[in-house]
């Protein structure tokens, strides 16, 4: 049977996702490498020569700024993912009594619960979990 996740379980899901910092870190490293290479080669599409390489000494002077840029990209990714997680609703909802599945209308706040024709509560799929009947 389907039961509604309690607030603690929903928070757990969000915390689990937040703890995973792999993607933001990878984005940060990727941005760092790209800007380093770009700066070193001095890629400039508007210049006649296209490449205007700078010296390593010049590049090292830029590193704090480039690192800051990468960290900003990393933090932005992290915040974006946290936001998505908090607003992560499935396109489908399910009645926890008769298990009828509803397709959510677009632009309808998924958290607004409906009442099914059977009298059961219709809950977003991302907010329910499946448990074996014998446990209940």
In 1-136 the beta strands, taken as DSSP E runs, fall at 2-4, 92-95, 101-103, 114-115, 121-124, 128-130
Nearer to Zn ion, 116 or 123 (CB): 116
CB of 94 to Zn ion, least distance (A): 9
Q: Which two tokens stand for residue 88?
A: 């992560």
Taking the complex as a whole, how short is the minimal distance between the CB of residue 98 and Zn ion, in angstroms?
Answer: 3
Site string for Zn ion, 97-126 (x = CB under 5 A): xx-x---------------x-x-x------
Report the C-alpha gap between 8 and 10 in whole angstroms. Answer: 5
- Site string (54-93) toward Zn ion, x via CB under 5 A: ----------------------------------------
Size of interface with Zn ion, in residues (CB under 5 A): 7
Residue with tokens 């760092």: 32
Q: Distance between CA 68 and CA 65 in Å, rounded? A: 5
């Amino acid at each position: 049977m389907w039961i509604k996740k309690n607030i603690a379980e929903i928070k757990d899901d969000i915390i689990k996702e937040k703890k995973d910092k792999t993607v933001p870190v990878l984005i940060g490293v990727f941005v760092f490498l790209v800007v380093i290479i770009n700066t070193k080669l001095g890629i400039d599409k508007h210049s006649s020569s296209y490449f205007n390489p700078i010296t390593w000494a010049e590049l090292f002077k830029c590193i704090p700024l480039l690192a800051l840029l990468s960290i900003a990209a990393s933090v932005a990714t992290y915040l974006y993912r946290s936001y998505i997680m908090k607003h992560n609703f499935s396109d489908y909802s399910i009645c926890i009594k008769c298990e009828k599945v509803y397709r959510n209308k677009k632009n309808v706040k998924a958290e607004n619960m409906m009442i099914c024709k059977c009298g059961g509560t219709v809950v977003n799929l991302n907010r329910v979990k499946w448990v074996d009947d014998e446990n209940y």
